[in-house]
Amino acid sequence: MEPFTVSTTIAQPREQVYEYLADIANHAEFCDHYLVDWHLTRVDSYGAGAGARFRIDAPMQRFSWADMTLHDMQPPHRIMERGRGGKYNRIRMIGIYTLDPGPSGSTRVQYTFETEPSQLSDRLLETLGGRSWTKRKAAKAMRRLRSILEDGRERGERASIEAE
């Protein structure tokens, strides 16, 4: 999938937004409308190496499990996450949060997402609506992120280690 970018401006300092995004357990709060059944891959959910596994609740998605790991952290400017999903985890995924200072102490958050499907069948599914569906859901996630950080509203559940 060609990369796409969605963005929002949050009326909070960049450092505060970075600290929230650097904890992958928080991502379930603003992405749970399309990424569900979150489970952390390690106890420490903060910083490089922290990861989560989740299910993508998309139409025509037979192999919906995916995982993301926080990979490259550049405080307070950039967070890169890498993951895999689809059948046999053969689709590589990359997400990048870029945080830039905005007017009056606000923060402009840009999220860029791309996938690298290895099979023709995976590329066809993306072409038949997968990219536009993902972009719409990511844009909604940015609106929910802004709402959570500015007002404390619309909080979903934080991800946790799976109960035994």
Query: Cα separations (Å) of 10 from 17, 57, 136?
Result: 8, 27, 19
pLDDT at 156: 65
pLDDT at 154: 60
pLDDT at 61: 74
Q: In the predicted model, is pLDDT for residue 153 greater than 70?
A: no
Q: In the predicted model, is pLDDT for residue 60 greater than 90?
A: no
Is residue 86 within 8 A of residue 63, CB to CB? The reply is yes
pLDDT at 164: 42
Reported as a single tens digit per residue, the pLDDT across 98-134 is 999 999 999 999 999 999 888 887 777 677 667 889 9
Sequence letter at residue 54:
F
Going from N- to C-terminal start, the domains of the chain cover 4-151
Long-range contacts of 127-133 (CB under 8 A, 24+ apart): 128/60, 129/59, 129/60, 130/1, 130/58, 131/1, 131/2, 131/4, 133/58, 133/59
Query: Cα separations (Å) of 145 from 31, 64, 103, 130, 158?
Result: 9, 23, 18, 22, 13
Sequence letter at residue 80:
M
Q: What angle do CA 22, 151, 159 make, to 5 degrees?
A: 40
Residue that wins the pLDDT comparison between 10 and 86: 10
CATH number belonging to the domain at 4-151, selected among 3.30.2270.10, 3.30.530.20, 3.40.50.300, 3.40.50.150: 3.30.530.20
pLDDT at 155: 67
pLDDT at 111: 98
In the beta sheet, which residues pair with residue 78?
74, 98
Mean pLDDT of the chain: 91
- Which segments of 11-133 are extended strands (E)? 35-40, 51-56, 65-74, 78-85, 91-101, 107-116
Query: CA 144, CA 133: separation in Å to the nearest integer?
Result: 17
